[in-house]
Structure 1
Amino acid sequence: MRLVVVSAGHAPASGTSRLGRLIAQEVVRQRPGTTAEHLEVRTIATELVAALTTGEDTVAVQQATRLVSAADALVLLTPTINASFSGLLKCFLDVLPRDALRGVPTLMGATGGTRRHTLVLDQSLRPMLASLRAVVLPSVLFVTSGEWQGQEPVPELGRRVEASSRELIRFLALSA
């Protein structure tokens, strides 16, 4: 299985990127033989804006599109920004071909300072992914900064990541 983790975190050490690494490790643990690849959207931000404004995809955007299009399963993560998903993620999703995610089991996750923003995934991101024909898992992961002890997840977050990873693997088996 080829797992692709797309993180729209704004910094290399963001909680969003950390969550992506944690999920990838758990999926690989539960399903040996899985390869996990990571796409940090912030690393192609300039190219995304150029693609949106000129209609021309750069090599970096083409590579990112191919990576995501070839995924067997996808984890899509975003920080919560102004009660919505990140503009970086929106830019990336806007340059994807319409059927790039067709049939791909997709786990959504978000990070934020408070649980008050938990619905951002279901109200904002789920419809966007539906328009791209992704198979979005029923469960989502919303993680606050208080769910980390330093760089390590609190036990409850570890259990939630384990359950979400198991669900993603099950959905992959159903879509095969």
Structure 2
Amino acid sequence: MKLAAVTAGLTQPSATRLLTDRLVEATVREADERVEVQVVELRDLATDIAHNFVTGFAGKALRAAQETVASADGLIAVTPIFTASYSGLFKSFFDVLDPETLSGKPTLIAATGGTPRHSLALEHALRPMFAYLHAIVAPTSVYAAAEDWGNDEGLAGRIGRAGAELAALMRHRAPAKEERLVPFAEQLAALSRET
């Protein structure tokens, strides 16, 4: 199985990346088979994402990240919460992803923030976005406020439950199809033959 983890932390190190890594570990631990993991750090793709918006074309690194998510059997998506919602960088990545990419894909959503007051952002912002993209979102989402890192027992329990749910969803999903991306020049050539 292939597991993609998209993390939108802006600093290094970041609590968002730490939560991502712990969710990956929990999911891999609960899987009944070998899991190949690829982590997509959105902070490294910020410029490529902006260029994609203004040109309509994904650069090489962004295209590779998009293909990582598309070919995965499951997805972990983690964002910091800013102003009671996901970060702009996080949303922008999913805006430049093909709308069908997440259709039927088991997905675990998670977020980090400075205060527990923003924990409902997972339910009012992230869950609706992933439902719109037709992802199969795991029932347990994980929010880690700054104070949760000191209370590791409670956070560890939520991480373990969410990882187990994602692993179960991945086991019961049909394997991802390997699709060949048709280069733009080849698509144009096919169009000119039709006319």
Equivalent in the alignment of 1:97: 98
Q: Find the partner of 2:170 among 158, 169, 172.
A: 172
Q: TM-score, normalised by structure 2?
A: 0.85
Equivalent in the alignment of 2:179: none
Answer with 49-58 or 24-33: which moved more.
24-33
Runs of 4+ in 1 over 4 A off after TM superposition: none
Residue 4 of structure 1 and its aligned partner are, at CA, apart by: 0.8
Equivalent in the alignment of 2:135: 134
Equivalent in the alignment of 2:16: 16
- Which sections of structure 1, spanning at least 5 residues, go unmatched? none
Equivalent in the alignment of 1:156: 154
- Which sections of structure 2, spanning at least 5 residues, go unmatched? 175-195
Decide whether the 8 Å contact of 2:5 with 2:76 is kept in 1.
Answer: yes
Equivalent in the alignment of 1:110: 111
Greater share of strand: 1
Pairwise CA RMSD of aligned residues?
Answer: 1.3
% identity of equivalent residues: 36
Query: Cα deviation per residue 1:105-128 (whole Å; 9 max; x = unaligned)?
Result: 000000011111111111111221
The higher radius of gyration belongs to 2
Residue 51 of structure 1 and its aligned partner are, at CA, apart by: 0.2
- Residue identity in the other structure for 1:157: L
- Residue identity in the other structure for 2:25: Q
Equivalent in the alignment of 1:6: 6
Equivalent in the alignment of 2:192: none
Q: TM-score, normalised by structure 1?
A: 0.93
Query: Cα deviation per residue 1:38-93 (whole Å; 9 max; x = unaligned)?
Result: 11111000000000111111111111100000110100000000111010111100
Equivalent in the alignment of 1:28: 28
Answer with 164-173 or 76-85: which moved more.
164-173
